[in-house]
Amino acid sequence: EPIRFLMFSASLRKESLNTSLVKLAGSIIEKAGGVVDHATMNDFDCPSYNQDEEAESGMPGGAQEFKKRLEACHAFIISSPEYNGSMPGLLKNAIDWVSRFRPQPFNEKHALLMSASPSMVGGNRGLWSLRIPLERLGARVFPDMFSLASAHHAFNEAGRLADEKLEKMFEDNLSDFMNLVEAASHYPCMKKH
């Protein structure tokens, strides 16, 4: 059975560097035999979280869609911009909505986090803030996180990383993650998928 990966960028920007990175990751994973479900934050669009609204109207469509697509995958991959040293509020808001479902859809899901930024740190600080809610919700967040620095200069015309050594590091990061998810899929707790 092929391993299914839900992947999305946490940026809505048309020319998003994170979207470029997640697309490249998707093509590498497909080449290696994985099945990819590309989502966007538009698919998971949610109003600002409000517990009254939840009680009155239930879960918004975007949260239901996020849950459905999480449940259909073995693992998920997020490429997230760093906003002010943290994750974008949009992403945290969607996570907060989804965290209200029972069973809680992030629990036991493998996750790989990546980021892209024009800065020299590549948005890596934002990923440490993203780990906190995901791990709190039981996601198995992969230790290695790929952060693409100077991302506005990093891609070639084919959408690959112009620096071959860096591209190889990225491919290795993805294949390490794929191998872990593959191995874990044989454990009974994953059989429900």
Binding footprint of ligand FNR on the chain (CB under 6 A): 11, 13, 16-18, 81-85, 116-119, 121, 123
Neighbouring CB atoms inside 10 A of 167's CB total: 16
Q: Which is nearer to ligand FNR, 118 or 133 (CB)?
A: 118
Q: Which is nearer to ligand FNR, 80 or 173 (CB)?
A: 80
Backbone angles phi, psi at 105, to 5 degrees: -65, -20
Q: Which is nearer to ligand FNR, 13 or 136 (CB)?
A: 13
Query: How does 61-98 read in b/e, with b if 16+ C-beta sit within 10 Å?
Result: ebbbbbbebbeebbbbbbbbbbbeebbbebbbbbbebb
Q: Which is nearer to ligand FNR, 34 or 88 (CB)?
A: 88
Cβ pair 91, 128 in contact under 8 A: no
Closest distance to ligand FNR from the beta carbon of 32 (Å): 24
- Amino acid identity for residue 105 in this structure: P
Closest distance to ligand FNR from the beta carbon of 85 (Å): 5
Closest distance to ligand FNR from the beta carbon of 77 (Å): 14
